[in-house]
Structure 1
Amino acid sequence: MKIAFYGSSLLSAYWNGAATYYRGLLRALAEKGYDIAFYEPDVYDRQKNRDIDPPDWCRVVVYDGTVEALRKVAAEAAKADIVVKASGVGFEDDLLLAEVMAAARPQAIKVFWDVDAPATLAEMQVAPGHPLRRALASLDLVLTYGGGEPVVGAYRSFGAAECVPIYNALDPQTHHPALPDPRYAADLGFLGNRLPDREARVEEFFLDPAARLPEQKFLLGGSGWQDKPMPANIAYVGHVPTGAHNAFNATPKAVLNISRASMAANGFSPATRVFEAAGAGACLITDYWEGIELFLSPDDEVLVARDGADVAEILAGLTSERAESIGKAALERVLADHTYARRAEEADRVFRRVAEQRAMEAAE
Structure 2
Amino acid sequence: MTAGALDVVFLGLSIRSSWGNGHATTYRALCRALAAAGHRVTFLERDVPWYAANRDLAAPSFCRLELYRSVAELRERLGETLRRADLAVVGSYVPDGVEVGGLVQELARGVTAFYDIDTPVTVAHLSRGECEYLTPALVPGFDLYLSFTGGPMLARIERELGAPAARALYCSADPEVHRPAAAPGAAPTWDLGYVGTYGADRQPALERLLIEPARRRPDRRFVVAGPQYPPGIDWPANVARVEHLAPGEHAAFYAAQRFTLNVTRADMVRAGWSPSVRLFEAAACATPIVSDPWPGIETVFAPGREILLARSTGEALAILERLPEDERRALGARARRRVLAEHTAAHRAEALAAHVREARERAARRRAPARRRARVAQEDPG
Instruction: Verify same fold: TM over 0.5.
Output: yes
In 1, distance between residues paired with 2:26 and 2:56? Answer: 14
What secondary structure sits across from 1:321 in the alignment?
helix
1:35 partner amino acid: R
**What is the match of residue 123 of structure 1?**
125
Deviation at 1:155, TM superposition (A): 4.0
In 1, distance between residues paired with 2:221 and 2:130? Answer: 48
- 1:144, 1:167 within 8 Å by CA — same for their partners in 2? yes
2:103 aligned with 1:102: no
In 2, distance between residues paired with 1:137 and 1:277? Answer: 36
**What is the match of residue 19 of structure 1?**
24
**What is the match of residue 169 of structure 1?**
172
Residue 82 (structure 1) aligned to one of 76, 84, 87: 87
The 3 A distance-change label for structure 1 pair 129 and 197 is closer
Of 187-196 and 219-228, the range deviating more from structure 2 = 219-228
In 2, distance between residues paired with 1:165 and 1:53? Answer: 29
1:304 partner amino acid: L
**What is the match of residue 209 of structure 1?**
213
- 1:201, 1:261 within 8 Å by CA — same for their partners in 2? no
**What is the match of residue 237 of structure 1?**
242
Deviations, residues 275-303 of structure 1 (Å, cap 9, x unaligned): 11001110111111111111111111111
In 1, distance between residues paired with 2:74 and 2:93? Answer: 15
- 2:172, 2:280 within 8 Å by CA — same for their partners in 1? yes
2:11 partner amino acid: Y
Deviation at 1:273, TM superposition (A): 0.5
Provide TM-score, normalisation by structure 1.
Answer: 0.92
The 3 A distance-change label for structure 1 pair 141 and 73 is farther
- 1:118, 1:151 within 8 Å by CA — same for their partners in 2? no
- 2:154, 2:167 within 8 Å by CA — same for their partners in 1? no
Query: Which stretches in structure 1 are left out of the alignment for 5+ residues?
Result: none
What secondary structure sits across from 2:53 in the alignment?
helix
The 3 A distance-change label for structure 1 pair 128 and 87 is closer
Of 324-333 and 307-316, the range deviating more from structure 2 = 307-316
Deviations, residues 12-41 of structure 1 (Å, cap 9, x unaligned): 211120112112222222233322211011
The 3 A distance-change label for structure 1 pair 128 and 54 is closer
In 2, distance between residues paired with 1:8 and 1:312? Answer: 37
Residue 146 (structure 1) aligned to one of 137, 140, 149: 149
In 1, distance between residues paired with 2:121 and 2:360? Answer: 29
Deviation at 1:344, TM superposition (A): 1.6
2:220 partner amino acid: Q
2:276 aligned with 1:278: no
**What is the match of residue 185 of structure 1?**
189
Residue 47 (structure 1) aligned to one of 43, 52, 58: 52
In 2, distance between residues paired with 1:237 and 1:284? Answer: 19
In 2, distance between residues paired with 1:211 and 1:129? Answer: 39
Deviations, residues 181-220 of structure 1 (Å, cap 9, x unaligned): x997111111111122322222222212212222211111
Provide TM-score, normalisation by structure 2.
Answer: 0.88
Deviations, residues 66-113 of structure 1 (Å, cap 9, x unaligned): 344344356231221211111112x212221122222223xx212111
Residue 297 (structure 1) aligned to one of 285, 299, 302: 302
In 1, distance between residues paired with 2:302 and 2:130? Answer: 40
The 3 A distance-change label for structure 1 pair 2 and 319 is same
The 3 A distance-change label for structure 1 pair 79 and 301 is same
2:5 aligned with 1:3: no
Of 334-343 and 147-156, the range deviating more from structure 2 = 147-156
- 2:41, 2:63 within 8 Å by CA — same for their partners in 1? yes
1:97 partner amino acid: G
Residue 62 (structure 2) aligned to one of 35, 57, 64: 57
The 3 A distance-change label for structure 1 pair 67 and 343 is closer
1:329 partner amino acid: R
2:179 partner amino acid: H
Query: Which stretches in structure 2 are left out of the alignment for 5+ residues?
Result: 1-5, 372-382
In 2, distance between residues paired with 1:274 and 1:150? Answer: 20
In 1, distance between residues paired with 2:317 and 2:180? Answer: 26
- 1:114, 1:143 within 8 Å by CA — same for their partners in 2? yes
CA RMSD across the alignment: 2.3
In 1, distance between residues paired with 2:187 and 2:252? Answer: 9
In 1, distance between residues paired with 2:277 and 2:171? Answer: 6
Deviation at 1:244, TM superposition (A): 0.9
1:136 partner amino acid: V
1:123 partner amino acid: H
Deviation at 1:163, TM superposition (A): 0.1
Of 258-267 and 277-286, the range deviating more from structure 2 = 258-267
What secondary structure sits across from 1:311 in the alignment?
helix
Deviation at 1:50, TM superposition (A): 1.9
In 2, distance between residues paired with 1:262 and 1:73? Answer: 38
Deviation at 1:47, TM superposition (A): 2.4
Deviation at 1:305, TM superposition (A): 0.8
- 1:184, 1:219 within 8 Å by CA — same for their partners in 2? no
- 2:21, 2:197 within 8 Å by CA — same for their partners in 1? no
For the pair shown, the structure with the greater C-alpha radius of gyration is: 2
- 1:226, 1:236 within 8 Å by CA — same for their partners in 2? no
The 3 A distance-change label for structure 1 pair 44 and 17 is farther
